[in-house]
Amino acid sequence: MKKDAYKQEAIKLLKLQKHDTSNILQIALSYIQLNMNQEAESYIKQAMQEMHCKGILLNIVYPRLVISLLSQMDKAFRLAVPLTVECKSGLEGTHVDEELLTELLEKVWDEIIASQLKSPRKERVINFIVDSDDSFVFVGDNLKTHIEAETTNELNILFSQIGYGLVCSDEVLRIAKI
């Protein structure tokens, strides 16, 4: 993504966040008005978990990467692919071309989301981790089955340009420094 595209994506994400927050509050209020307090509590907790997942990425030092990751997460949420996120590093010790890293991770996210959409709805899940060693880990069912070996090889070659390597097993795709 180019600089202007990131600004547009950030504005789009803020608009979506405002819309989502309004919807969350309206639904929670409706539950409360109907004396459905357990449902309201459950709904609010679910919304808080989603916001927490997005919020923990804000510690990453690469702003364009943060916007891209938030956009990819939003895509997963809107496609009803359950998602968990852990961010154990802000990538302070990683010195890479932010634009290239972001572009490559966007390609991986596209492959991961597409792989999960090929699975039955109840089996879909993505666990994304920015690990303490500055690696990126995606965990999901049948990744190796749904992501073509040729695509994995191409991505590995591209990641090697920034000092990373990509390894994919049935349930884990790991992008780590080499």
Yes or no: say if 25 and 33 are a contact pair by the CB < 8 Å rule.
Answer: no
Summarize the confidence of residues 55-84 as an average pLDDT: 90
Cβ contacts of residue 171 below 8 Å, gap of 6+?
139, 140, 141, 142, 143
* pLDDT tens, residue by residue, 5-62: 777 887 887 888 888 888 888 999 999 999 999 999 998 998 888 788 788 898 899 9
pLDDT: is 56 or 129 the higher one?
129
- Separation of alpha carbons 69 and 58, rounded Å: 10
**Domain count of the chain?**
1
Per-residue pLDDT, 47: 87
pTM for this prediction = 0.82
- Separation of alpha carbons 65 and 62, rounded Å: 5
Residues spanned by the domain of 128: 3-177
Q: Is residue 78 over pLDDT 70?
A: yes
Instruction: Fill in the amino acid letter for 125.
Output: V
Per-residue pLDDT, 128: 95
- Separation of alpha carbons 87 and 65, rounded Å: 13
Summarize the confidence of residues 151-160 as an average pLDDT: 93
- What CATH number has the domain bearing residue 142? 3.30.565.10
Residue 29 has which token pair? 């209020």
Q: How confident is the model at residue 1 (pLDDT cuts 50, 70, 90)?
A: low
- Per the prediction, the chain carries an average pLDDT of 90
Q: How confident is the model at residue 172 (pLDDT cuts 50, 70, 90)?
A: very high
Which residue has tokens 């929670």?
28
Task: Give the Cβ contact number of residue 113 at 10 Å.
Answer: 19
Per-residue pLDDT, 50: 79
Q: Is 67 exposed, middle or buried (0-12, 13-18, 19+ CB in 10 A)?
A: buried
* pLDDT tens, residue by residue, 86-117: 999 999 988 899 999 999 999 999 999 999 99
